[in-house]
Amino acid sequence: VAKVVAARTRVKARERLALARRARSAMHVLICTTPDIKGCIAVNFALKQLTARGHRLSVFLSNDEPRSEGAQRCAEMVGPHETSVWTKSIFPFLERTPAANRGPGAYRTWEELRASDDVGVITAVKNKSINFHANLAEVRALAPDLIFSARFQHILKEDLIAVAPLGVLNMHPGALPKYRGLYVDLRAMLQGDVRQTMTLHRISDTGIDTGEVVDTAEVETTPGDSLLGIRLAMGREGVRMMLEEVDRLAAGTCGRVFEHRPTVEEGYYSWPTAADYDDFFASGLRLYHDSDMEAIKLLFAPAGGTGERDDDGAARRMRAVTGVTG
């Protein structure tokens, strides 16, 4: 029965997409992401590009406390430098100065985005998935044309998938089908991969990382790259591919679809274990570098103003991987 339902969902998704394949001068894109620094950078980059194209952006933020042992472990490992130091310390400091006065092209913090007129930001009910009735009602009220999942860990169900007439896109930080699942960028580092792949695929059913692949992008890595640096470089590519698909959809066409469709039989990575992290650190790998953090600050304050020393080399590198030139 589940296979029949999934097949019908895919057929309906294709039918909706076929009906929607007509030129649209303006589209409404909903980005679903997490309230960490990766999500904030992705939203800022997408907002500038979509606005320049005449499209509208809304954002749906998850609001989850880690519950499983694996989720709690990963939150302890990456949460401080990817989330809490930004939301509790750096962002409040930056907000003392309006973004317009922090330098040309300054990115906005989450609170600044919430207060903006050019983007709508909603937050999920605490510890409830996007499929929860109140959250689903919020998404339906937004009436997006297209939904883009950016490192969003909720599994979308059929009612949610059916909301957007142009469907749902997901950026997955790993080559499929080899790297299905969670924290696959960390897995690729452990494997010693010199290239990592960001995959853009469609979500047409409740399968995890099994949707039709639209495009892929490879990111060159070096032994000195941190997990955070790689994640930001990969995120840049994911948003870029989404924007290219938006351009195609706005023109009444659609992106290519690879013949291979990953299946659940091809493996799935769950949360990294304590042993995985031990191997990660024993291999000399790093979750982040101080220079990564300094360079990210410059995205939000290009003219300085964080009250701390700026690393010009790190700034140039982070601007390159995030696409910021100002």
Model pLDDT, residue 15: 54
10-residue averages of pLDDT along the chain (326 residues) = 48 54 78 98 97 97 96 97 96 95 95 96 97 98 97 94 96 92 96 95 86 93 95 97 94 67 66 97 97 95 58 44 40
Q: What is the pLDDT of residue 24?
A: 64
> Which of 211, 220, 216 is closest to 193 using CA atoms?
220
Which pLDDT belongs to residue 167?
A: 94
Enumerate the β-bridge partners of residue 121: 59
Beta carbons of 204 and 222 less than 8 angstroms apart: no
pLDDT of the residue at 14: 59
The pLDDT of residue 208 is: 82
All structural domains of the chain, each given as residue ranges with its CATH number in brackets, are: 1-302+314-319 (3.40.50.12230)
- Cα(238)–Cα(250) distance, integer angstroms: 18
Residue with tokens 């030139």: 325
Query: What pLDDT score was predicted for residue 152?
Result: 95
pLDDT (0 to 100) of residue 4: 42
Task: Report the distance separating Cα 144 and Cα 140, nearest Å.
Answer: 8
| Burial bucket for residue 158 (CB in 10 Å: 0-12, 13-18, 19+) | middle
Closest residue by Cα to residue 286 from 234, 233, 222: 222
What is the CB neighbour count within 10 angstroms for residue 182?
Answer: 20
pLDDT for position 255: 62
pLDDT of residue 34: 97
* Chain centre to alpha carbon of residue 122: 16
